[in-house]
Structure 1
Amino acid sequence: MNLSVGLTSGLFQNYDTIQAEKRALNVDSWFLMSSPLPVASVLAAYLLFVLKLGPAFMRDRKPLQLTYLLVVYNFCQSVESGALQSFYRNVFQPNNPSRIPLSPTLASASWWYFFSKLVELLDTVFFVLRKNQRQVTFLHVYHHTITAGGSWCFLKYLPGEQGLIVGLFNCAVHVFMYFYYMLAALGPSFHKYLWWKPYITILQMAQFIMVMIYTSSIIIFNDKLPTILSYFFLANAAFFAYLFSDFYKKTYNPNKKYSSVRGTLKLN
């Protein structure tokens, strides 16, 4: 069997068409898209800093006060998430030609989403510089690493509509999450307004459940999209749904009262 025929069946529906359109858009010439080396270097540097070099550097130093930087950073992240969500919603309209399998609009949105995930690595860097190492958990670091690396691989190798839907859900959650952290960064006088922090985790869990339902429906009913992407998103969403639910049970024990924002973990 011809290799291209094999790839366009089973897990790789529309593979040849997607690759042809990606080449026509010259995606490989875009910033950080030429090869895996640049993004792999960024992620390696991130892991080295947040897990080893950063904590060692801060060990005998006082935590940095980053109040104004955090307010501006989280505000910009919330606005950027809202802008990306609006962009995704405009693309995902019935009979919109800017959808399947790949178009300049969808490819551009995918690149900006990937780049936003690189910027979000700063979440962990700020934790380290503020000596808040308890927030640098396996879930937090794994999430940031797999999301940044996965979104690059998605655009580089096999972009599909599934990523559009997953990105839409993710950006919707980030609007509220980063707005919450902007208010938290303003100081204790604002903490009394942050009673809704447990609902952010609930929203995050709902996001993963919706991704699981959506990708399952693609696997069962859709024969035009690359099924391998659906399996990846389904497995990843199921893993995170479990981890987030475990975090929720441990953090928001109904027998405890949380009057500060310290129990909230910036995960997504």
Structure 2
Amino acid sequence: MASVVHSTLTYWLVNHPKISNFTWTEGETFGSAVFFVSVVVSAYLFATFLLRHAMVSLPSLGPRILKPIMAVGCTLSITSDPTTRFFNAICFPVDMKPSGPLFFWAQVFYLSKILEFGDTLLIILGKSFRRLSFLHVYHHVTVLNLCFVWLRTRQSMFPVGVVTNSTVHVIMYGYYFLCAVGCRPRWKRLVTDFQLVQFVFGFGILALMLSQHYFGSGCSGIWGSYFTAAFNASLLALFFNFRSKNYVKKDNRDD
């Protein structure tokens, strides 16, 4: 039974012709142009700014309406991010071609980050403006750019980022789904802690990849890796600041 399930999943997630024959080509594959990313990010920032100020004078949507919307949004975000397999690809060959199942799922992952912009709309519609922080908007914008850089530079180590980020989002959206159906777990802090662990783990893998690059035959997309490391460092600093403001100070007040 287990072998049948494994064979079925392997065919539909790896060996299906649409996946195994996939090739990412800049300017031809959907969403593969710099102009596309620029327009999407600009539209997101403009819509967020405009709606944030317009919603102040409009009535809030009731929680009975927001809960099913949030539940459906979380479900779609999880199911659109099916990259739950570990690809042992920390260092791609320098001449790596952007084709095959690995880059197919990277493309799906990249496009799913646009779908996740929808949670900002739900926050604004619910007038939960305290949650509409700089970290929230910055995180959405930078992650979309990171995913584009992964594909464009054929960046080594991105499979690790896909797997860890997908895992964190399963936990995060699982928490919000439970909140949406009226069951608020007590482990909200763990969502932030898992995100911090993801960044620290990423830097550890980066060190391993750099050792392979400089003392081995080289790794594909090294400049993309530097770009990603700089973004991750900024996000890590913001997450630590967020955790300090929201949890450490709260703990001190409770003492």
Normalising by structure 2, we get a TM-score of: 0.78
- Separation in 1 of the partners of 2:172 and 2:23? 37
- Separation in 1 of the partners of 2:153 and 2:89? 22
| Match runs of 1:1-268 below 5 Å | 26-33=25-32, 35-51=33-49, 53-65=50-62, 66-81=66-81, 83-86=82-85, 89=86, 91-92=87-88, 100=96, 102-155=98-151, 157-187=152-182, 190-191=183-184, 194-222=185-213, 223-253=218-248, 254-256=251-253
Compared with structure 1, are the counterparts of its residues 46 and 123 closer, same or farther at alpha carbon in structure 2 (3 Å cutoff)?
A: same
- Amino acid of the residue matched to residue 221 of structure 1? Q
CA offset digits 1:129-167 (Å, max 9, x no partner): 111122111111111001112212332x31223211111
**In terms of mean alpha carbon deviation, does 119-128 or 70-79 score higher?**
70-79
Aligned-residue offset at 1:93: 7.4
The 3-state SS of whatever aligns with 1:139 is helix
Which residues of structure 2 form unaligned runs of 5+? 1-21
CA offset digits 1:1-31 (Å, max 9, x no partner): xxxxxxxxxxxxxxxxxxxxxx975453222
- Separation in 2 of the partners of 1:24 and 1:73? 29
For these two proteins, the number of residue pairs brought into alignment is: 222
- Separation in 2 of the partners of 1:58 and 1:151? 31
Contact 1:218 1:227 in 2 (8 A): no
- Amino acid of the residue matched to residue 73 of structure 2? Y
Contact 1:215 1:231 in 2 (8 A): no
- Separation in 1 of the partners of 2:227 and 2:237? 16
Aligned-residue offset at 1:230: 2.3
Compared with structure 1, are the counterparts of its residues 181 and 25 closer, same or farther at alpha carbon in structure 2 (3 Å cutoff)?
A: closer
Instruction: Give the alignment's Cα RMSD to 1 decimal.
Output: 2.5
- Separation in 1 of the partners of 2:241 and 2:138? 15
- Amino acid of the residue matched to residue 224 of structure 2? L
- Separation in 1 of the partners of 2:23 and 2:165? 28
Compared with structure 1, are the counterparts of its residues 104 and 183 closer, same or farther at alpha carbon in structure 2 (3 Å cutoff)?
A: same
- Amino acid of the residue matched to residue 143 of structure 2? T
Aligned-residue offset at 1:184: 1.0
Which residues of structure 1 form unaligned runs of 5+? 1-22, 258-268
CA offset digits 1:46-68 (Å, max 9, x no partner): 101112x1023212111123221
Task: State, as a whole percentage, how many aligned pairs show the same letter.
Answer: 26
- Separation in 1 of the partners of 2:230 and 2:37? 23
- Separation in 2 of the partners of 1:26 and 1:245? 37
- Amino acid of the residue matched to residue 183 of structure 1? L
Aligned-residue offset at 1:207: 0.3
Compared with structure 1, are the counterparts of its residues 123 and 27 closer, same or farther at alpha carbon in structure 2 (3 Å cutoff)?
A: same
- Amino acid of the residue matched to residue 249 of structure 1? S
Greater than 4 Å deviation, 4+ residue runs: none
